[in-house]
Amino acid sequence: MIKYVIKSMRPAQWIKNLIIFAPLVFSRNLFSGALALQILAGFGVFCLLSGSVYIINDLVDLERDKLHPAKSLRPLASGRLPKSVAVGALIFFLTASFVAAFELGLDFMGIAAAYFALNIFYSSLLKHVVIVDVMSISLGFILRVLAGAVLISVPITPWLLMCTMLLALFLGFAKRRHELVQLEDNANSHRRVLMHYSPYFLDQMIMIVTASTVMSYALYTISADTVQHVGSNHLLYTTPFVLYGIFRYLYLVHQKEEGGSPTRVLLTDKPLAVNIALWLITCILILEGIL
């Protein structure tokens, strides 16, 4: 029964919560054991919160999911996970997450509560509003970054928030395009908001956020505050990794018809995974003064 509860929490999606580590890395505190433990605890809280939201969604959409060819296989819709057990697990995980968030500080708890409220609001309303649906997802990533900064008491740079927002918008619009193209006539039944999108419109949005993301990151690496903080302008040399990562993702979306699940793409596309790993390693080496 426990495995069905965990499966309902979509653990594969927890990889998105790793963005909470960004302030730890870019504040040059990666190897501070105490701060790393704080961030790790915050990561756990966000995993519990996001997992709880998935359970809530499955409970709300239970009858509808039973009629869906794919969603009917989920633990709740298939009957393998009793509704009463899911409700009990939900209460336990929500209680545990907010108690832990309180122990980590009131500021962190406030951000965690805002993240949870945003997800509930998104599931009930915002996901049906064109453009706002993707912007809401982007806000969720920004809240995670802010939570990481609050946990280790470091100032957050506007550049980091801007890059996070733009990258999340890029992934969100690419996902909408994949859904629209793949599902074609059945797109509206899968996600109602898709009736307001078109491939051409989404391509325009993707083009804008792609250029903005690259430029924002490049400007961040050479900004006076960043150069002073790092002690050099060497972060600029990580820009090719960002360019390749975005180009590779666009290739997967347009040529391989992937992109419906950014998490799955990240876990299954080896060139993209290697590129991200090299970018992260290079950033750490530069931030720590090794390069």
pLDDT at residue 189 above 70? Answer: no
Stretch (H or E) spanning 12: none
DSSP assigned state of 28: T
Take residue 161 and report the two structure tokens written for it.
């928030």
DSSP assigned state of 81: S
Per-residue confidence band for 206, with pLDDT thresholds at 50, 70 and 90: very high
Q: Buried b / exposed e across 74-91, counting CB within 10 Å, b at 16+?
A: bbbbeeebeeebbeebbe
pLDDT score recorded for residue 115: 96
pLDDT score recorded for residue 4: 82
CB 158 within 8 A of CB 142: no
Distance CA(43)–CA(222), nearest Å, equals: 30
Quick one: which of 11, 104, 5 has its CA closest to 55? 5
The CA-atom distances, in angstroms, between 270 and each of 15, 60, 186, 256, 275 are 16, 36, 31, 14, 8
Q: What is the pTM of this model?
A: 0.91
Cα dihedral across residues 170, 156, 49, 42: positive or negative? positive
Q: Please, is 203 exposed, middle or buried when counting C-beta atoms within 10 Å of its C-beta (0-12, 13-18, 19+)?
A: middle
What mean pLDDT do residues 40-48 have? 96
Using one digit for the tens of pLDDT, what is the confidence trace for 145-161? 999 999 999 988 888 89
pLDDT at residue 188 above 60? Answer: no
Per-residue confidence band for 78, with pLDDT thresholds at 50, 70 and 90: confident
CA of residue 284 relative to chain centroid, distance: 21
Identify residue 184 by its one-letter amino acid code. Answer: E
Residue 237: how many other CB atoms lie within 10 Å: 14
The CA-atom distances, in angstroms, between 5 and each of 8, 13, 38, 100 are 5, 15, 26, 20
pLDDT score recorded for residue 63: 75
pLDDT score recorded for residue 137: 93
pLDDT score recorded for residue 185: 57
- What does the mean pLDDT of the chain come to? 89
Poorest-confidence range of 100-104, 110-114, 251-255? Answer: 251-255
pLDDT score recorded for residue 68: 67
Per-residue confidence band for 212, with pLDDT thresholds at 50, 70 and 90: very high
Taking the CA atoms of the chain, what radius of gyration do you get in angstroms? 20
Take residue 112 and report the two structure tokens written for it.
């965690």
Stretch (H or E) spanning 53: helix 33-60
DSSP assigned state of 155: P
The CA-atom distances, in angstroms, between 95 and each of 58, 102, 184, 286 are 19, 11, 41, 40
pLDDT score recorded for residue 75: 82
pLDDT at residue 245 above 80? Answer: yes
What mean pLDDT do residues 71-90 have? 83
Stretch (H or E) spanning 134: helix 132-151
Helix axes 106-124, 33-60, angle to 10 degrees: 30
What mean pLDDT do residues 239-255 have? 93
